[in-house]
């Protein structure tokens, strides 16, 4: 297999060959060579991988030409659809200039312009932009900024070395972001490697108040996913919770970090979830939808107060010693600028509102299904909870497989089926997606519990 790949690289007349003609079996190469994220490889290798080669609007297109609705926006990041003309053109135009130059010691126009646009869009008071490449790194950076800021304030603030996060929180996969993670399945293995934190109940402001009043002097920051805890299975917070979190942080002199990696760029119906409770955090983490789902780019926005806490003469070493090679990559910045242009030109958020209305109306039918325990979420972020089942049944996965045969890609979180299509999805596509999901849930459940399905039919 490997030799075939090499042969392809050296073959003259590149236009004349095709993978099939060359005898390249990509599915086998995948099984032989790839280690997929969040995936039990043994189970993966028992199934035929779906090879996505192209995309168009709300659809993913496989190598065999079959089309699928992208029901999870390619892991919650696609915004305006695939092959969006404006973003395609912006990336191509940037490629004519330069693909990458460093931001360590140099600047470039795209990064500067994008930072200005983000500050304009973000909740007021956030005035500085620090780039990286993923949601995990955006969070890692926010944690390190908060920690170092408190240290550099001096005096009793140097004791503020700890963080508060919510139970069931998810902020990424690097060691810092895992430290403030609260999903045992993903995080508990690594506890010996992680820094200690304080954990509070999601949506329970009194619990936060209690923890802050006991540990006030040792806490650098509270970190939350505003309104919706995505990876927890689209857990939602009661109205007013986020506002109260902000008030408590102010009252106890603690920084607030909002992780809008999942909720940002329109997913909850507004550009940022924070807007819905009229608050601004001290640090805001953005990624996923920042480039419209095109390229890896993340941003950690900070208040001027935090930024100023790092100023000083070089030899004072108040510098933020952090920066990745591809930080603020020009191609990614070009995609992000075009993404923001599309939001404005296509009135994306305005046109999203009726689709959110339709989606939740359609979901009423799903919530009424006997197989469904609960449907929850906000805006265009949906979790369809199938209730507690034997993990060995892999019910969520069965739904994914069924949906695939019907023309939609959905990816579950355990037995919670997630729907999070691109904001640009049409009403017709939305109807089809919900219809396929409902049919797939029925089929998967009757497949997993054949006896009860027969009983139901007989009744």
Ligand X SMILES: Cc1ncc(COP(=O)(O)O)c(C=O)c1O
Residues forming the site for ligand X (CB under 6 A): 134-136, 139, 170-172, 225, 230-231, 259, 261-262, 287
Q: State the nearest-atom distance from the C-beta of 265 to ligand X, in Å.
A: 12
Q: Which is nearer to ligand X, 17 or 186 (CB)?
A: 186
- Specify the residue, 164 or 445, whose C-beta has the smaller distance to ligand X: 164
Nearer to ligand X, 236 or 432 (CB): 236
- Residue (378 or 402) nearer to ligand X, CB: 378
Q: Where are the beta strands (DSSP E) in 86-133?
A: 126-132
**Cα-based angle 394, 399, 402 (whole degrees, multiple of 5):** 125
CA distance 403 to 406: 5
Least spacing, CB of residue 312 vs ligand X, in Å: 31
Estimate the crossing angle of helix 348-367 against helix 330-345, to 10 degrees.
80
* Cβ–Cβ under 8 Å, residues 412 and 394: no
Q: Least distance in Å: CB of 342 to ligand X? A: 21
> 140 and 129 in contact (C-beta within 8 Å)?
no
Distance of alpha carbon 256 from alpha carbon 258, whole angstroms = 6
User: Which residue, 220 or 257, has its beta carbon nearer to ligand X?
Assistant: 257
CA 23 – CA 6 distance, rounded (Å):
12
Give kind and range of the element (H or E) at residue 200: strand 198-200
Asked if 318 and 310 count as a contact pair (C-beta separation under 8 A), the reply is yes
CB of 413 to ligand X, least distance (A): 10
What angle separates helix 395-406 from helix 427-448, to the nearest 10 degrees? 130
Q: What is the CA radius of gyration of the chain?
A: 23
Q: In angstroms, what is the minimal distance from the CB of 232 to ligand X?
A: 9
Q: Report, in Å, the least distance between residue 17 CB and ligand X.
A: 35
Q: How far is the CB of 170 from ligand X (least distance, A)?
A: 6
- Give whichever of 173 and 371 is closer to ligand X, judged by the CB atom: 173
DSSP state of 417: E
Least distance from ligand X to the Cβ atom of residue 289, Å:
11
Which CB atom, from 230 or from 412, has the smaller least distance to ligand X?
Answer: 230
CA 138 to chain centre: 11
Q: Which is nearer to ligand X, 267 or 394 (CB)?
A: 267
Distance CA 168, CA 222 (A): 14
Give the nearer residue to ligand X in terms of CB position, either 233 or 330. 233
Closest contact distance (angstroms) between CB of 138 and ligand X is 7
Residue nearest to ligand X (CB): 135
Q: Report the DSSP pairing between strands 283-286 and 255-259.
A: parallel
**3-class secondary-structure state, position 377:** strand
Helix (H, G, I), strand (E, B) or coil at 17: coil
Helix and strand totals (H; E) in the chain: 18, 17
- Torsion angle (degrees, nearest 10) of CA 380, 128, 335, 345: 60
């Amino acid at each position: 297999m490997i030799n075939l790949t090499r042969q392809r690289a050296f073959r003259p007349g590149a236009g004349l060959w095709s993978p099939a003609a060359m005898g390249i079996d990509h599915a086998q190469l995948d099984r032989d060579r790839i280690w997929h994220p969040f995936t039990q490889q043994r189970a993966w290798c028992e199934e035929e991988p779906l090879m996505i080669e192209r995309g168009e609007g709300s659809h993913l297109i496989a190598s065999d030409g079959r089309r699928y609705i992208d029901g999870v926006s390619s892991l919650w990041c696609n915004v305006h659809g695939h092959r969006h003309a404006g973003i395609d053109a912006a990336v191509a135009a940037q490629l004519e200039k330069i693909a990458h130059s460093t931001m360590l010691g140099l600047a470039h126009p795209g990064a500067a312009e994008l930072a200005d646009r983000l500050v304009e869009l973000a909740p007021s008071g956030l005035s500085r932009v620090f780039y990286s490449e993923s949601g995990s790194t955006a969070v890692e950076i926010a944690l390190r900024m908060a920690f170092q800021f408190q240290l550099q304030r001096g005096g009793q603030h140097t004791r503020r070395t700890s963080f508060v996060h919510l139970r069931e929180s998810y902020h990424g996969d690097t060691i810092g972001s895992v430290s403030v993670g609260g999903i045992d399945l993903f995080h508990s293995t690594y506890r010996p490697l992680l820094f200690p934190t304080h954990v509070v109940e999601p949506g329970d402001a009194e619990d936060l108040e209690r923890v802050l009043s006991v540990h006030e002097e040792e806490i650098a920051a509270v970190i939350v996913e505003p309104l919706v805890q995505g990876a927890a299975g689209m857990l939602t917070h009661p109205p007013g919770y986020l506002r109260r979190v902000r008030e408590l942080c102010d009252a106890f002199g603690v920084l607030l970090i909002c992780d809008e990696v999942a909720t940002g760029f329109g997913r909850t119906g507004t550009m940022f979830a924070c807007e819905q409770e009229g608050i601004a955090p001290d640090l805001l983490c953005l990624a996923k939808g920042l480039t419209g789902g095109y390229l890896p780019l993340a941003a950690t926005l900070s208040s001027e107060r935090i930024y100023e806490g790092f100023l000083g003469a070089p030899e004072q070493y108040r510098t933020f010693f952090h920066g990745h090679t591809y930080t603020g990559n020009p191609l990614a910045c070009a995609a992000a600028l075009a993404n923001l242009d599309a939001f404005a030109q296509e009135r994306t958020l305005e046109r999203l509102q009726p689709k959110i209305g339709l989606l939740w109306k359609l979901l009423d039918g799903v919530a009424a299904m006997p197989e469904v325990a609960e449907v929850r979420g906000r805006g265009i972020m949906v979790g369809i909870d199938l209730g507690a089942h034997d993990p060995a049944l892999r019910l969520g996965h069965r739904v994914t497989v069924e949906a695939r045969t019907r023309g939609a890609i959905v990816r579950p979180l355990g037995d919670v089926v997630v729907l999070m299509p691109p904001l640009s999805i049409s009403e017709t596509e939305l109807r089809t997606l919900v219809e396929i999901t409902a049919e797939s849930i029925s089929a998967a459940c009757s497949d997993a519990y054949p006896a009860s399905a027969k009983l139901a039919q007989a009744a």
